Amino acid sequence: MSVVETVLNNGVFTITLNDDKRRNSLSAELTTELVAALDFADNDASVRVVVLTNSGSVFCAGANLSERSSDGANTSSFVPQTFFGRFRHSPKPYVGRIAGHCVAGGMGLAAAMDISVAVDSAKFGFTEVRIGVAPAMISVVCLPKLRMVDAQAAFLRGHRFSAAEAARMGLINAAVTAEALDAEIDAIVNDLLAGEPGAIAASKQLIATVPTMDEQQAFEWTAELSARLFASDAAREGMTAYLEKRPAPWVP
């Protein structure tokens, strides 16, 4: 039985972590299947939006400690170094539907999403220090979302905190009741489907690239990007649809 389930429906590709027995930990098996699902999502033109969620009460418990303790220093066989960063560089929008607890490496998955919403009963935490390690690779995707004082407290204390606190810290976008979770995710997905795929990819590129540039370089690069987008067939179609008060052709 697969530990990662996938469904494609009307442009929405839902990936479900389904290894309840191992608390959806990042085992070699789960990571391999998840990477395969991400490869499909990123390369199939029919996929417009990707939703990553979980079955059971845990979204992701981080590293599979049974495997890691026997593997020693060889961590790359379990989580590729590019794993957490690939979401940021994908042209597709990724939405986290966090329907359970999220700790350690699971925090990296949650923070790597473009938009993420969790149930308010979920607990979060960078618990690595309590087993003698540090939140190393996930810090690359988590630290840009955190104030330094929040990062210091969370990384060093290793305590668990609420979904509402995770939202306040900027790791996720919102915490909602279990009853409201699907409606919130549906609203986000519908907004993303209303955006033109190339424009969404360009917007993600802006978010990833502009902060790495100095001001002059950023203005020059974004001016070129803006000109290219405005000259595209998609933009002409979108502007015409707007002026004619009708949906753009990419809107479901």
Please give the positions annotated as active site: 128
Closest CA to 108 of 143, 142, 149: 142
Residue 206's identity, in one-letter code, is: L
